[in-house]
Amino acid sequence: MKYYILFGPPGAGKGTQATAMVEKYNLHHISTGALLRKEIAAGTELGLQAKALIENGCLVPDEVVEGMIESEFKTVTGVDGFLLDGFPRTLPQAEALDQILAKTGEEVTATVSIMIPDAMIMERIKGRALKEGRADDASEDIINNRIVTYHNQTEPLIEYYGKVEKYHEIDGIGTIEDVRDRIFSVMDKF
């Protein structure tokens, strides 16, 4: 089983590229946001815990998200691997993922990081806000905060996965097809 992690700042094109990655390599896409919504809708024990926290304005703790991801690993069949999008975001989450995978003798296959400059992040998110009417994407202050948060959370993970030679940076500048070809050339090695 393959376990890929998809990194990239907001606006890097992760959603667009994830679809192609899932299709080409027969992967199950795990987006933490979608996973939370699925568990809540299904009324699972983890979903009920998450719903109660969200309704009270609290963040869902790592343990709950980790439990949902572990559940996906155990229950999804008919795929050649998983593509994690939005997890891990912190060092403790990366360490927890390693522990979850170690239980079944597995490990992270590779981290694919789509990188674009901060100025392009701003430009793309503002464009997305106009096109999709997303108010959360319209404010420069909010966008700057998202950029800073991304750098603060992700840079330690770059080093973490780099030390074990599982970090692969992709130039996110160019056409969707150009970026996709760069991603595929990395993933074809596994």
The phi and psi torsions of 3 (rounded to 5 degrees) equal -130, 105
Q: Which of 124, 146, 180, 182 is catalytic?
A: 146
Q: 82-115: buried (b, 16+ CB within 10 Å) or exposed (e) per residue?
A: bbbbbbbbbeebbebbeebbeeeebebbbbbbbb
Q: Which of 37, 38, 126, 128 is catalytic?
A: 128
Secondary structure (3-state) at 106: coil
pLDDT at 138: 65
User: What does the pLDDT average to over 30-34?
Assistant: 85
Would residue 124 show up in a list of annotated catalytic residues for this protein? no
The residue assigned the tokens 């996906």 is: 72
pLDDT at 135: 61
CATH of the domain at 95: 3.40.50.300
Contact residues for 157 (Cβ-Cβ < 8 A; gap 6+): 7, 88, 89, 90, 91, 94, 111
Q: Which of 2, 38, 51, 89 is catalytic?
A: 89
CA-based nearest residue to 158, from 99, 115, 116? 115
Would residue 180 show up in a list of annotated catalytic residues for this protein? no
Secondary structure (3-state) at 172: coil
Domains in the chain, number: 1
105-155 confidence digits (pLDDT tens): 999 999 999 999 988 888 888 777 677 766 656 678 878 887 888 888 888
pLDDT, the chain, mean: 89
Contact residues for 51 (Cβ-Cβ < 8 A; gap 6+): 40
Q: What residue spans of 12-139 are helical by DSSP H? A: 14-25, 32-42, 45-55, 62-75, 91-102, 118-132
Domain that holds residue 97: 2-187
Would residue 38 show up in a list of annotated catalytic residues for this protein? no
Q: Which of 14, 124, 180, 182 is catalytic?
A: 14
Is pLDDT of 10 > 90? no
CA-based nearest residue to 28, from 50, 4, 52, 9? 4
**Cβ atoms 1, 163 nearer than 8 A:** no
